[in-house]
Each structure stands twice: as structure tokens, then as C-alpha cells.
Amino acid sequence: MKAIGVCHFGGPEALQVVDLPEPQAGPGEVRIRVHAAAVSPTDVMLRTGGHAVRMPDRRPPFVPGMDAAGVIDQLGPGTDERLAVGQRVIAMVLFTSSHGGAYAEQVVVPAASVVPTPEGADFPAASTLLMNAMTARLALDALAVPHGGTVAVTGAAGAVGGYAVELAKADGLTVIADAARYDTELVGGFGADHVVERGPDVAARIRALAPDGVPGLVDGSMQTTETVPAIADGGALAELRGWSGPAGRGIRVCPVMVPDGITDTEGLDTLRRQAEDGTLTLRVAEVLPADEAATAHRMLEAGGLRGRLVLDFS
């Protein structure tokens, strides 16, 4: 099968088309004929060697990608009756596993990581859902702000940030979100109750709306210490890149690791239903042929995208 792999860590040019043996689904596993794979910052980290410590026994080529959409073409022994050959599905993919990531014509994943595609969504749109939405879900769960409370979200125009705003509103929370001036309407469209200007002074702008500080903050912009002053004493900060503090003033810093939710079938299916009913907005920035993965990574690293880049393996 064709895949996009990394034989030597480096820049976007390190992504190469490679031929790999056709994988086989083992017990409790599903093989998916991939039609679309979303591109994310964690793929860049794999390409540059940032995840090498998590793969000490693996040998190249390393295949990136944590989000796949396609059709089941093989069921391993012991797979539950929830899934069937020919079914359109989406899956979270752990690229550090022996099977590799989603940048491939076929991928094998645990059945628990697979749910149906949202009704009405094509493969590129469907592929943008699970990893970022599950990250946002885990972040909000870690904050544990009760119904009726207030959360702040930085990086609200981004993939995780946008889902965090939408999920927080669905949870019955008041949301203060940040945005560049040209993204104010976009972020407001996600349901944010208040939109403040993004940047290094975002904490002060949040405090202007919440003088005692917010009880919880999702740091989608990875500003870490710059966001801490916005949080109330004893509040909580959800961090997406592993920063664990300390933050002081009794603030809990909660590093969010999306693999924690990769086999939470019920949670993944809830996100699928929320995409179907319009709670979550699927956003595709651009679809590129799979062999243009290097271009996709250059575009991602250049910044300014609104929505996810998707590689077409159909």
C-alpha cells in the first residue's frame, strides 16, 4: 500500500511516498481503507523528531497522522457487531503504535477507536473531527467547571479552540474567548459569549470581564504562563502541549493527553453525534492529494489557517 512516511527526521521534505506491506487486522482490530487523513501540529512533531522518545523500539519509515476517515475493509477476530465491512467510519489513530499513523491507504486500529462518520459529512470533513474535538472534551472535563460557570478559551479560532468553545456552550457554560480582529465574527459564531483581542495581554482582557478571574481556562494558544493571571485562585488551566506548571495561587495545571481518549468509544461517538446535530462545526481549510503532504506541512507551519488541512487518499 502507499503511505506517506518519514525515514529521517527533518523539514517538510522529509515526508516521502513509501510502499509498505498491506496491514492485517488482528483480534479486536479494524482495517480501514483510508480516503482522507487530517493534518495536525502533532504530525509536524513526529516529522521533526519530537515524538521519537515515545517510539524507542520503532524503525522508520514513521507514518504520521491521528485522524482517518474511510471505509472498513477488514474486521479482525472478536470485533463487536457494532461495525461492519463496507461501513463509512472515522477513527483516531495512534501513530506511535506498530501499525503507524493515518497517512496511508490502509490503517489498522482498535475497534474501540472507530465510530461511524457523521451523517451528511464527506470524508475530508469527517476526518477533521475526532482528535481535536476529543482534545477539547478532555480539556473541559479536566477543568470540571460546573454548569452555569465560566471558562476562557485562548486560540479560539483554531481547531481545538473552536471545538472547546462549542463544547463549553453545549455544557451550559459562559465562554470568554480570544480572537484576532479579523476572527471576531468567526469565534462569535462558535457561540462565545464574549470575545477579547488575542495576544500577550489576553489575561488582562479576560480579567476585565471576570474581575475575580475565571475558574477554568483552555490554553489553545499554548501561552502557558501568560494565561495564568486570568485564572481565579484555586482555578484550573488545561494545557495541550504537556506544560505542568507550577502556576501558583492554588491553580491546578492539567496537561491534556489525547491518547487518553483514543479508545473511549462512547466519548468518540458522542462527538460524532454532536457533529451531526450541529453542536460541532467541521472545518476544512483545503484538501490536497496525499503525495503533496510536504506542501500541507509547509502551509500548516506558515500559520493563518482556519480549519484543518486534509490529505486525500481516495
Its pTM stands at 0.97
- Residue 58's pLDDT is what? 87
3-state SS record for the chain: CEEEEECCCCCHHHEEEEECCCCCCCCCEEEEEEEEEEECHHHHHHHHCCCHHHCCCCCCCECCCCEEEEEEEEECCCCCCCCCCCCEEEEECCCCCCCCCCCECEEEEEHHHEEECCCCCCHHHHCCCHHHHHHHHHHHHHHCCCCCCEEEEECCCCHHHHHHHHHHHHCCCEEEEEECHHHHHHHHHCCCCEEEECCCCHHHHHHHHCCCCEEEEEECCCCHHHCHHHEEEEEEEEECCCCCCCCCCCCEEEECCHHHHCCCHHHHHHHHHHHHCCCCCCCEEEEEEHHHHHHHHHHHHHCCCCCEEEEECC
CA distance 115 to 47: 27
Residues 6+ apart with CB under 8 A from 304: none
What is the residue extent of each domain of the chain?
A: 2-128+282-312, 132-258
- How far, in Å, CA of 176 to CA of 188, rounded? 10
- Give pLDDT tens digits along the chain (314 positions): 999 999 999 999 999 999 999 999 999 999 999 999 999 999 999 999 999 888 888 899 999 999 999 999 999 999 989 999 999 999 999 999 999 999 999 999 999 999 999 999 999 999 999 999 999 999 999 999 999 999 999 999 999 999 999 999 999 999 999 999 999 999 999 999 999 999 999 999 999 999 999 999 999 999 999 999 999 999 999 999 889 999 999 999 999 999 999 999 999 999 999 999 999 999 999 999 999 999 999 999 999 899 999 999 99
| Fold match flag (2-128+282-312 vs 132-258) | no
Q: Put the strands of the sheet holding 231-239 in their side by side order.
A: 194-197, 174-179, 150-154, 214-219, 231-239, 252-255
pLDDT tens-place string over residues 12-63? 999 999 999 999 999 999 999 999 999 999 999 999 999 988 888 889 999 9
Q: Which residues pair with 287 in a beta bridge?
A: 310
- Picking from 258, 219, 223, 257, the residue whose alpha carbon sits closest to that of residue 235 is 219
Which CATH architecture describes the domain 2-128+282-312? Alpha-Beta Complex (3.90)
Backbone angles phi, psi at 8, to 5 degrees: -140, 125
Lookup: cell for 233: 485562585
Q: Which residues share a beta bridge with 62?
A: 6
**Residue 262, all three cell numbers:** 483514543
Residue 2's beta-bridge partner residues? 19
Share of the chain above pLDDT 90, in %: 96
CATH H-level, domain 132-258: superfamily: NAD(P)-binding Rossmann-like Domain (3.40.50.720)
